[in-house]
Amino acid sequence: MLGIGTPELIVIGLIIIIFYGPDRLPTLLAKINRVFRDIKHATSDVQKQINREIAKVESNVLKLEEDPNHQSQDEKNKHHE
């Protein structure tokens, strides 16, 4: 996990408790958890989009291998503009 071990996590936890106090700790941890969850969802969405684009490119490559004269839909659209 980012090169952070147990001793580092303990020190970070103690610093957070000192600055925020134990009574505000649950709220702070909930906010941190929400941020990490949002980041995870965002990166997952980006990865899905990248995979879709890769699949489109691979599909076009396979079509070109089967028929070298085949134009992709993108190429056809470029010629019509």
> Quick one: pLDDT band at residue 20, thresholds 50, 70, 90?
confident
CA–CA distances in Å: residue 37 to residues 22, 40, 43, 44, 75: 23, 5, 10, 10, 39
In a domain, 43, yes or no: yes
CA 51, 54, 56, 59 torsion: positive or negative? negative
pLDDT tens digits for 43-63?
Answer: 999 999 999 999 999 998 888
In a domain, 14, yes or no: no
pTM more than 0.95? no
Contact by Cβ (8 Å): 18, 10: no
Which position has the higher pLDDT, 7 or 74? 7
Which position has the higher pLDDT, 76 or 42? 42
Considering its fold, how many domains does the chain have in total?
1
Task: Supply the pLDDT for residue 73.
Answer: 60
> Quick one: pLDDT band at residue 75, thresholds 50, 70, 90?
low
In a domain, 15, yes or no: no
In a domain, 3, yes or no: no
In a domain, 1, yes or no: no
Domain range holding 68? 22-80
